[in-house]
Amino acid sequence: MIDTEPIQIHKTDKSRLPEIDFDDLKFGRVFSDHMFSMEYRDGKWQQPEIVPYDSLTLSPAASVIHYSQTIFEGMKAYKNEDGRVAMFRPEQNIKRMNRSAERMCMPHIPEDIFMEGLSELLKLDSGWIPPGESASLYIRPLLFATDEYIGIRPSDNYRFLIMTTPVNAYYSNPVKVKIERKYTRAVEGGTGYAKTGGNYARSLYPAKLAHDQGFDQLLWTDAKTHEYIEESGTMNVMFVVDGKLLTPSLGETVLDGITRRSVLELARDMGVEIEERRIRVSEIIEAMKENRVEEAFGCGTAAVIAQIAAIGDGDDLYELPPVEGRKISKKFEKYFRDLKKLRIEDKFNWMVELTEQ
Ligand SMILES: *Cc1c(COP(=O)(O)O)cnc(C)c1O
């Protein structure tokens, strides 16, 4: 193993940073100067490196392009008013990436190298972390199969990358979601709990149909009966009904979101009553008809808290109460904003601050 070898750093000789306008960022379109890169070959991880962000050379036979043996993560780093930089619970993303790796027959990524790669990359590209109130640096770790072989079996060779992209708020307005009663994202025994490419590929078509009907996102239901709510595309989902916080329980078909987990810990700490269980679509629809759904929102790294303005089911559209009056989720939003900008005490120890060099 190479955990004693330091990361080799090859700096770019021409930063693209001067060309970037932090006030006009399109999500996931611009990438910072460097990326972390490490290959898996001969049964072990090779020299970790940080190199200028650039295109890759890949065999047309590379198994990832044919059979989707690929996993990713999504996390964020923040810069506060004093220029201090911190990541939100990165160790959780590292652990989850390794759970995804196991499901997809991919090699375990050593946690210490992963963490060191993140820190070194952020130090080198700290100028790329936008300081704005709702801005951050989105971090995208990626692991994929590179065998030059058109046969179906787990690859022998892999590439692990970490790239970063400066972003602003993901959604500027509350979202409209459609309850999906026909198509399926994940099924028992499948890969729903892993962050793997195929899960997203299969959701493009139903999501496109929903977009054409004016919705921003889908609200997935269980594959067998389409009667239970699971999650929303790239976010977990929560409701406040009669003052209680409701969220579908986890299982193989729901991604174990770090934002979801954090919201639940925070809610518990605030004394909010929580119900984490199977939730019937009909239960939520009944409650919406009786005006008992006080709040509905998605939670995930990209949007953090994405307020849901309306929920569609078949031909019916249910409007939810105005966002301004949503006491509970507004408290979560404020807590996360203040925490990520290091303005309040970090009582759960969620922030990992970058130490000065
Ligand atoms: C990443 C993701 C989430 C949210 O997870 P976070 O760790 O909170 O970012 C929820 N659902 C799916 C399907 C996801 O891919």
Q: What is the largest CA-CA distance in the chain?
A: 62
Q: Residue 347 in 3-state DSSP?
A: coil
For the CA of 232, the closest atom of ligand 1 is: 11
Question: Token match 């027959």: residue?
Answer: 105
Under 8 Å between Cβ of 196 and 236: no
Q: What was the pLDDT predicted at 356?
A: 58
Mutate to test the pocket of ligand 1, among 170, 236, 258, 299 (most ligand atoms within 8 A of CB): 236
Q: Residue 95 in 3-state DSSP?
A: helix
What does the pLDDT average to over 310-314? 97
Under 8 Å between Cβ of 157 and 145: yes
- pLDDT band of residue 171 (cuts 50, 70, 90) is confident
List all residues whose CB is within 6 A of at least one atom of ligand 1: 74, 195, 231, 234-236, 255, 257-260, 300-301
Atom 5, ligand 1: which residue's CA is nearest?
A: 257
For the CA of 256, the closest atom of ligand 1 is: 5
What does the pLDDT average to over 132-151? 96
Q: Residue 274 in 3-state DSSP?
A: strand
Residue type, 137: L
298 Cα to the center of ligand 1, angstroms? 10
What does the pLDDT average to over 213-232? 97
Angle, alpha carbons 147-152-154 (nearest 5°):
55
Under 8 Å between Cβ of 233 and 217: yes
In the predicted model, is pLDDT for residue 61 greater than 50? yes
Q: What was the pLDDT predicted at 170?
A: 78
The sign of the torsion formed by the CA atoms of 333, 137, 135, 230 equals: negative
Atom 12, ligand 1: which residue's CA is nearest?
A: 234
pTM for the full predicted model: 0.96
Under 8 Å between Cβ of 91 and 115: yes
Under 8 Å between Cβ of 72 and 140: yes
